[in-house]
Structure 1
């Protein structure tokens, strides 16, 4: 009787250990999947944290030090999520302006650079004149960066707005913030702009632009465009690999700074809730 009881007790303990091991494995897999999902989201939002894919410009020590400087700078100023096509308002210190600060509203037409060299260009039409301002994202002169409308466009660069009709680049300097519901996807604006007649600043007919309405070009320009076209390059796997950062290296980079970025996101959400709350006033 005693022997059978001991055997039954051992069997129960054995099955309990198996269940605990199985449940811990499931939890570990779920946590890893959540982490990888969050890392994939971080790659889309914080593009400048990825190093330059060109081997000649790579330096692991400098890149780590730059990431620490970028995190410290983000702790001093809120740099929200934005993309090419988003409408921003940037306030920067300007010793030549009346109030020592200058606020510029415009659409982001280009975003480039990595690390502390990350920069973006805003464009607006003011008094029938196109105005563009180049900002360095981690410049200490920046005091405030606001996203008035968060959205994407069909193209990665909107430099063709320089040759488009002015209404596509005209925005009210007093434009109010358009609130996007929390948790919703960033909308993609399918707008197709109309280009002005030639001459253009670039040969837009030779670029595969999706955000531009079809324009008429001469047969001579068509032949020249077909002659220099390279549609096979998108199938060149080695060239694409050399122009990108491997996913393993991306995961390693963002896993180092994941906790700090999450903390910055929580701080930004708390500040947003404080700004959205309006204290009621007493009647009478």
Structure 2
């Protein structure tokens, strides 16, 4: 009897321990099979915190898309061997500080401008030149533009560094664009296309109005020319009236496949994502500078009245 009682209690204890183990394993399985957040859901939650108007108050500054045409010098050189993130950041800071001292207005190739620079040899220590912008380029502090005018029947061109400390004032007398990004063919054109009075008054323009595109087509002088203009697919030039052999040679050296080369275009430009980051840093400071200039102008007009 004693042996039976001991054996029965042993079996009961074994059964209880077995049920406890199963219960623990079931609870563990329920915990391990709880729904797990995927990486996409986690990314969506993290992105939602960065959207404007959220609970945390973080806002993402988005610059207008036309900034890459208005301020192309803020974009770095697309050549990868010349890239340096720290240098580019410091240059943008210097450029904004320079813009806070001298107003650099919006302009394009084809705009008529006037630039005043400090000149130690001038009687009044200043020199002012009026001309049409035939080309602009460079990036960062090395940005430049070329003005051309015909003075005393002689073509005069001056290259200005946009952020040079000698520049005292930059004015846009006529804001417009042309059909081509470069107007170097004005060197071989008739003089009337590059002649502007040195005392030209600025044309009034409504704020936030669309920049007009001048559809003027330039007539070139007879050959010889400085460049082979028939090989450059120019839109703002009249018919060149050349023999057919010139166009045949131009067709042989042409590279029509380059406009379909995506990698070539990628290497020549800055990715859109990086452009958004750059102009987001610059946008707010440019707005503050523009607001301060408007306040100064209003105060000046009020004082005159």
TM-score range, shorter chain: 0.7 to 0.9
TM-superposed deviation, 1:60? 0.5
Contact 1:39 1:255 in 2 (8 A): no
1:263 is matched with which residue? 288
Distance 1:194 1:51 in 2: 36
2:160 is matched with which residue? 135
2:253 matched to 1:228?
yes
2:18 is matched with which residue? none
Distance 2:284 2:194 in 1: 38
Distance 2:256 2:301 in 1: 49
1:167 is matched with which residue? 192
Provide TM-score, normalisation by structure 2.
Answer: 0.78
2:217 matched to 1:187?
no
Distance 1:206 1:57 in 2: 30
2:157 matched to 1:102?
no
Contact 1:191 1:211 in 2 (8 A): yes
TM-superposed deviation, 1:274? 5.2
TM-superposed deviation, 1:266? 1.5
Distance 1:42 1:273 in 2: 26
Provide, for residues 220-254 of structure 1, a one-character-per-residue CA deviation record: whole Å limited to 9, x for no partner: 21111111011221111111011110010011111
1:64 is matched with which residue? 89
CA shift in 2, pair 1:235/1:173, >3 Å: same
Provide, for residues 170-226 of structure 1, a one-character-per-residue CA deviation record: whole Å limited to 9, x for no partner: 001111010110111111111101000000000000001001011111122111111
2:253 matched to 1:205?
no
TM-superposed deviation, 1:84? 0.5
CA shift in 2, pair 1:119/1:26, >3 Å: closer
Map 1:19-30; keep pairs closer than 5 Å: none
Which one of the candidate residues 262, 272, 275 is aligned to 1:250?
275
2:41 is matched with which residue? none
Map 1:30-179; keep pairs closer than 5 Å: 35-36=61-62, 38-179=63-204
Provide TM-score, normalisation by structure 1.
Answer: 0.84
TM-superposed deviation, 1:279? 4.1
Contact 2:52 2:60 in 1 (8 A): no
Contact 1:107 1:122 in 2 (8 A): yes
Q: Which runs of 5+ in 2 are unaligned?
A: 1-50
Q: Secondary structure at the match of 1:192?
A: coil
Contact 1:39 1:251 in 2 (8 A): no
2:9 is matched with which residue? none
> RMSD in angstroms over aligned alpha carbons?
2.3
Q: Secondary structure at the match of 1:48?
A: helix
Q: Secondary structure at the match of 1:124?
A: strand
Contact 2:136 2:144 in 1 (8 A): yes
Contact 1:50 1:115 in 2 (8 A): yes
